[in-house]
């Protein structure tokens, strides 16, 4: 399995969060899982301009050059992607949200009806499963529920499924077991 972890922790002094992801990586090594952690805070990620060029002018590619080109390539090759971030002001970090927005070229602008909803059509043959790991800095469980719901919707829009939403207070072995079950 190819596992991509997008670490959206903007604060390099928040060692608790980064250490949790490192321990998760260490626990998964040797279990036939190829793991890559991308530290988004170290990259140049510009905001999506909403120009639709990735759909119309350069299908599947953002016309603005930044480090999300490599992120989209890694995302497309992964079997599972974990979005990881402390919850800041009720949601994931701005750097993780910017990265999420820049994944829109992975779907077509064309719409299809799925169930009773309209969704973008697939651009790729397969899409990775999605997981969420967060640190609830505010201790407000409503933030967790809202964020989890948004990621569930995000997964649907990216032709995937949110398979888990875990706090960094979750035992590493429980997260590893959940990943191993796929």
Q: Average pLDDT per run of 10 along the chain, which is 182 residues long?
A: 97 95 94 94 94 89 92 96 96 97 93 90 95 90 95 94 97 95 90
Question: What is residue 143's predicted lDDT score, i.e. its pLDDT?
Answer: 94
Question: What is residue 176's predicted lDDT score, i.e. its pLDDT?
Answer: 95
Question: What is residue 71's predicted lDDT score, i.e. its pLDDT?
Answer: 96
Question: What is residue 36's predicted lDDT score, i.e. its pLDDT?
Answer: 96
How are beta strands 117-122 and 107-114 bridged, if at all?
antiparallel
Q: Which long-range contacts (CB under 8 A, 24 or more apart) does 74-77 make?
A: 74/4, 74/36, 74/38, 75/4, 75/103, 75/106, 75/128, 76/106, 76/124, 77/2
Q: The domain that contains 51 carries what CATH number?
A: 3.40.50.360
pLDDT in tens, 49-74: 999 899 889 988 999 889 999 999 99
Question: What is residue 137's predicted lDDT score, i.e. its pLDDT?
Answer: 82
**Domains: count for the chain:** 1
Question: What is residue 138's predicted lDDT score, i.e. its pLDDT?
Answer: 77
Question: What is residue 30's predicted lDDT score, i.e. its pLDDT?
Answer: 81
End-to-end, the C-alpha distance of the chain in Å comes to 9
Question: What is residue 139's predicted lDDT score, i.e. its pLDDT?
Answer: 82
Burial category of 142 from C-beta neighbours within 10 Å (exposed 0-12, middle 13-18, buried 19 and up): exposed
Is the CA virtual torsion 51, 40, 168, 131 positive or negative? positive
Question: What is residue 159's predicted lDDT score, i.e. its pLDDT?
Answer: 94
Question: What is residue 56's predicted lDDT score, i.e. its pLDDT?
Answer: 87
């Amino acid at each position: 399995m190819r596992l991509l972890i997008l670490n959206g922790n903007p604060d390099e002094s928040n060692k608790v969060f980064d250490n949790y992801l490192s321990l998760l990586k260490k626990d998964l090594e040797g279990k036939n899982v190829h793991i890559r952690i991308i530290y988004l805070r170290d990259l140049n990620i510009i905001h999506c301009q909403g120009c639709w060029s990735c759909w119309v002018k350069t299908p599947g590619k953002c016309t603005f050059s930044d480090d999300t080109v490599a992120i989209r390539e890694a995302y497309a090759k992964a079997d599972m992607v974990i979005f990881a971030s402390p919850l800041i002001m009720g949601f994931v970090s701005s750097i993780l949200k910017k990265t999420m927005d820049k994944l829109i070229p992975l779907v077509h602008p064309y719409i299809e009806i799925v169930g009773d909803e309209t969704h973008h059509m697939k651009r790729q043959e397969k899409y990775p499963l999605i997981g969420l790991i967060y640190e609830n800095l505010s201790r407000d469980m409503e933030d967790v529920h809202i964020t989890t719901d948004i990621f569930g919707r995000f997964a649907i829009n990216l032709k995937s499924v949110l398979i888990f939403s875990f706090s960094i207070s979750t035992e590493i072995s429980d997260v590893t077991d959940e990943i191993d079950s796929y």
